[in-house]
Amino acid sequence: MNIALWVVQVITAIGFVYSGGLKAFQYEKAKASWGWVKDVPQVLVVLIGLAELLGALGIILPYATKIAPVLTPIAATGLAVIVLCGALFHVSRKEYRELGVNIVFIALAVIIAVTRYSTAT
């Protein structure tokens, strides 16, 4: 179970590093990749990207280093909230094609939050 959960954490972190990196450091590429980026202030897109990058670190490092491992489920919960807000934003814009990725990453983040919380406390 622990190995499977680590696989989930790494896959989730890779997804958020990719997404967050584009938003935070490659704004023009993000704008070309995702239509919604054109309609949101650049500073908000960058802040979302930075939050995703910090969350990706948060779902790996605290539990891996055993330094404040309770931060791992907190980071996963934060990421789930960010993606849920993104999903609601897509629904409001009738961008239903985008919801599949959102649902997958919400599920992965919730799995990490629930399982790591029970083992971190």
24-73 residue pLDDT tens: 999 999 999 998 999 999 999 999 999 999 999 999 999 999 999 999 99
Confidence at residue 72, expressed as pLDDT on a 0 to 100 scale:
96
| b/e per residue 68-94 (b: at least 16 CB within 10 A) | ebebbbbbbbbbbebbbebbeebeeee
Closest CA to 82 of 2, 5, 14, 16: 16
Helix, strand or coil, per DSSP, at residue 64: helix
Answering whether pTM is above 0.85, one says yes
Number of domains in the chain: 1
Average pLDDT over residues 1-22: 95
Residue 109: give the domain boundaries: 2-120
Helices in 59-98 by DSSP H: which ranges?
Answer: 61-65, 71-92
Report whether pLDDT(102) > 80: yes
Q: Residue 11: CB partners within 8 Å, gap ≥ 6?
A: 108
